[in-house]
C-alpha cells in the first residue's frame, strides 16, 4: 500500500427531506446565493420551487445561472464568475448532477480571479481561493458532491480537462435519494457506469492494498445489484439510496487509498467528449470493456481473476484465464442489459479521426499507469470500439 494523505472537509446530509435544510445551511455563509442548475429538470420535478422557498424563508437573495450543459462549458464558468463579482455572492449553490457541481467549482474560483478561468483548467495558474460551494445532488454518478475535482470543456480548443484545488470541496452537500426518482433511465444507467469506472481506475492497479480492494469490490457489487432495480422501479428508495451513496464513495478518496489512479478511461473519454459532445458515461461504457480486453495478460491475470470472482460471482477454477475473460464478458453483458453503448457507432460517431485521437491520448508517450499503453495500443482499442 502506498503512502496517502486523506482529508475531506465536505459535510454530507443524507436522507429523505434533508433538502429542506438548504435555507438554514446556506444562511451560515451569507445573504447572497448564486443558484446554478441545468436546463428544465429541477423545475419539472418541483425541486426548484422547494429550494427557492427554503432560501426565501431565510431572507436570502437568490441570483440564478441556469442552463449548465451536460459537458459544462468554460463559457458558463466565465459568466458565473462575473455574476458572483457583480452581485457580491457569498455562496455558490449547485442543484443538479456532476456537471452542475463541476461548473459551480469553476465559478466559485473564477469569482476570486481577475484572469480567464480557463487558466486553471489549462494548468497555467493555481487558484488562490474560491467562494464557498454547496450542492443538492440530483444524479448519482460523478461523486463531485464530495471531492474537489471538476471537469470543464473548451470546444474552441477541443479540450476537456479536469482540475481542482484545496478550495473547491463543497462545504456541504445534500444527498436526498428522492431527488433522483425522476432521473431518466438512460441517465440512471450513465450514473451506474460512471461510478463503476471511477472504481476501476483505482481497483486495477499493481499497488497492494487488500482492504482498499475489498472496499472497491463492495462499491461495485452494490452498484451492479441496485442499478437494475432502480432502472425497473425508479422510485425504489433503497435502490436509489444505495446508488447515491455508492457513487459518492467511489470518488471521495475512499476507493483510492494507497493506490495509483490509472486514468486511461477518463482521459481518453475526455478527448471523445471534447470532439463529439457525447455523454461522459456513454464514452466510458464504450472504452472500458475494450480496455480490459487489451490489458488482460499473464501480468494482470490475478487482478482480473479477483474481479471476476469477487465482483461478478464467476465460479473459481484452476483455469484462471477463462475465469478472467468471463469477468470481462460479464461487463459487456451488464452494459448491454442496462442499454449503454458498446461501440462508437452506437453514439453516431462514424469515421472518427482515430490517428489524431490516439496521438493526443499518448502525447506524453504512454497513457495508463496500471499498464502503460502507447500510441499503437490506444489505436487498437479505438479501432475495436468502432
pLDDT grade, residue 385 (50/70/90)? Answer: very high
Q: Which candidate, 203, 86, 184, places its Cα nearest to that of 141?
A: 184
- For residue 320, the tally of other CB atoms under 10 A from its CB is 17
Please write the tens of the pLDDT for every residue from 131-159: 999 999 999 999 999 999 999 999 999 99
* pLDDT in the model for residue 207: 93
Domains delineated in the chain = 11-179 (3.40.50.1970), 183-384 (1.20.1090.10)
Could you tell me the pLDDT band of residue 6, with boundaries at 50, 70 and 90?
confident
Cβ–Cβ under 8 Å, residues 202 and 259 = yes
Instruction: Pick left, alpha or beta for residue 123 (phi over 0 → left; psi -120 to 50 → alpha; otherwise beta).
Output: left
Q: Where does the pLDDT of residue 1 fall: very low under 50, low under 70, confident under 90, or very high at 90 and above? A: confident
**pLDDT value for 200:** 98
Of the candidates 112, 121, 117, 120, the residue with the CA atom closest to the CA atom of residue 84: 112
* pLDDT > 90 fraction of the chain, expressed in percent and rounded: 97
Say if strands 133-137 and 172-175 run parallel, antiparallel, or are unpaired: parallel
What local confidence, expressed as pLDDT, does residue 2 receive? 87
The position carrying cell 484452476 is 318
Which positions ≥6 away from 3 have C-beta within 8 Å?
258
C-alpha cell at position 167? 478550495
pLDDT in tens, 178-231: 999 999 999 999 999 999 999 999 999 999 999 999 999 999 999 999 999 999
Mean pLDDT of the chain: 97
Amino acid at each position: 500500500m502506498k503512502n496517502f494523505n486523506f482529508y475531506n472537509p465536505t459535510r454530507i446530509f443524507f436522507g429523505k427531506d434533508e433538502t429542506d435544510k438548504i435555507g438554514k445551511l446556506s444562511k451560515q455563509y451569507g445573504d447572497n446565493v448564486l443558484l446554478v442548475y441545468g436546463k428544465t429538470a429541477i423545475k419539472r420535478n418541483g425541486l426548484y420551487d422547494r429550494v427557492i422557498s427554503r432560501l426565501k424563508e431565510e431572507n436570502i437573495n437568490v441570483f440564478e445561472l441556469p442552463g449548465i450543459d451536460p459537458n459544462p462549458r468554460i463559457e458558463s464558468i466565465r459568466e458565473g464568475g462575473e455574476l458572483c463579482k457583480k452581485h457580491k455572492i457569498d455562496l455558490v449553490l449547485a442543484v443538479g448532477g456532476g456537471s452542475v457541481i463541476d461548473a459551480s467549482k469553476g465559478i466559485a474560483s473564477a469569482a476570486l480571479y481577475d484572469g480567464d478561468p480557463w487558466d486553471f483548467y489549462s494548468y497555467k495558474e493555481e487558484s488562490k481561493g474560491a467562494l464557498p460551494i454547496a450542492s443538492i445532488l440530483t444524479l448519482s454518478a460523478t461523486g463531485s458532491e464530495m471531492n474537489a475535482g471538476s471537469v470543464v470543456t473548451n470546444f474552441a480548443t477541443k479540450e476537456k480537462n479536469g482540475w481542482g484545488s484545496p478550495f473547491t470541496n463543497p462545504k456541504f452537500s445534500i444527498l436526498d435519494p428522492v431527488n433522483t426518482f425522476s432521473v431518466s433511465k438512460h441517465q440512471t444507467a450513465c450514473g451506474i457506469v460512471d461510478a463503476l469506472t471511477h472504481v476501476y481506475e483505482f481497483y486495477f492497479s499493481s499497488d497492494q492494498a487488500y482492504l482498499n480492494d475489498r472496499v472497491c469490490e463492495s462499491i461495485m457489487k452494490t452498484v451492479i445489484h441496485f442499478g437494475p432495480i432502480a432502472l425497473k422501479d425508479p422510485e425504489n428508495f433503497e435502490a436509489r439510496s444505495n446508488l447515491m451513496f455508492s457513487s459518492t464513495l467511489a470518488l471521495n478518496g475512499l476507493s483510492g487509498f494507497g493506490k495509483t489512479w490509472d486514468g486511461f478511461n477518463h482521459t481518453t473519454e475526455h478527448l471523445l467528449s471534447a470532439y463529439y459532445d457525447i455523454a461522459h458515461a456513454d464514452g466510458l461504457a464504450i472504452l472500458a470493456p475494450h480496455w480490459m480486453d487489451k490489458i488482460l495478460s499473464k501480468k494482470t491475470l490475478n487482478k482480473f481473476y479477483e474481479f471476476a470472482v469477487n465482483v461478478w460471482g464467476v465460479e473459481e477454477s484452476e483455469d484462471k484465464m477463462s475465469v478472467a475473460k468471463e469477468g470481462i464478458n460479464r461487463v459487456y453483458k451488464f452494459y448491454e442489459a442496462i442499454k449503454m453503448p458498446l461501440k462508437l457507432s452506437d453514439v453516431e460517431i462514424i469515421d472518427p479521426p482515430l490517428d489524431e485521437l490516439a496521438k493526443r491520448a499518448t502525447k506524453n508517450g504512454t497513457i495508463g499507469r496500471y499498464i502503460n499503453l502507447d500510441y499503437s495500443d490506444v489505436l487498437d482499442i479505438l479501432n475495436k470500439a468502432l
